[in-house]
Structure 1
Amino acid sequence: MSQNRLAQETSPYLIQHKDNPVAWWPWGPDALNEARRTGKPILLSIGYAACHWCHVMAHESFEDEATAAVMNELYVNIKVDREERPDIDEIYMRALQLMGEQGGWPLTMFLTPDAEPFWGGTYFPKQPNYGRPGFQDVLKTVARVFRDEPDKVE
């Protein structure tokens, strides 16, 4: 059974997500070990409590049972508060920018089980909108590429 592990966190931002149906892990060795153990890619979501688009994405996708089911099946999901872990935010924001994407929050990064970034973006709407693909489509496509086209991930 998938379990959300944010209830014992101290960050107000992480606590906002403790009741999501997403099996969130806080950043740390347990989450990274789970990714290596399962061979699943990591979905890393970085945001902060006062971020408007973080709240929009949370409401549209992270509170949605169907989207959470896809996330839980395909990924080890890690939630980070950028105000609590600016070091993690800086690493993955820089990675996104090096991939040629404009940074912002929420930062949505896809990582190998060894925490190496291979694709990312910021806000993804639940359904295709604003010229952006729908989040479930992104989740399924990235997982398929990770599984079936490993040369594109390395």
Structure 2
Amino acid sequence: METGAGFRTPNTRDRRPTTRDRQPENPDYELPGSLDALDPVAVALRLRLAAADAFVLIVPEYNRSVPGPLKTLIDSFRSEWEAKPVGFVGYGLSLTGGVRAVEHLRQIFAEFHAVGMKDAVLFPRVLEHYDAQGRFPTESEGAEAAAKLMLDQLLWWALALRDAKSVRPYGV
């Protein structure tokens, strides 16, 4: 289903959480310094986040942390993150493969009462994985196994937390 802001949303009536391409149609959209709660893009995003049972954030490591616009986006919402699991895919130019950004995100999401997955998918020295045509053809060693582990855990937590919240609302 397409929303007015150009996002694709999952069918929330499905018993199992689903994964879909959730990238905005306009990848050049720049986030402002803060999100106006009445902005149509923010309203559409709020609805998408609230309807989701789980999240996977793909994050580059930027100055040993997360990019500022991503932090602004995360901080612009609160209840939408609560009592939901969050998985992480990090990438970077160094050997750490985005692990510092992922560690910061775990701390940030803990403040929002979200459950950060311990296992993450990391792509160290990300530029070395591209071929001469600019495609990402080579798999980082262990990435597929790491993704399966993280997604299996994410699904478990998504179902457990959704079921728990249907019995008793989460209180902060």
Whether these two folds match at TM > 0.5 is: no
TM-score (norm 1): 0.37
Larger radius of gyration, structure 1 or 2?
2
TM-score (norm 2): 0.34
Instruction: Judging by fraction of residues, say which structure has more helix.
Output: 1
Ranked by relative contact order (alpha carbons within 8 Å, sequence separation 6 or more), the top structure is: 1
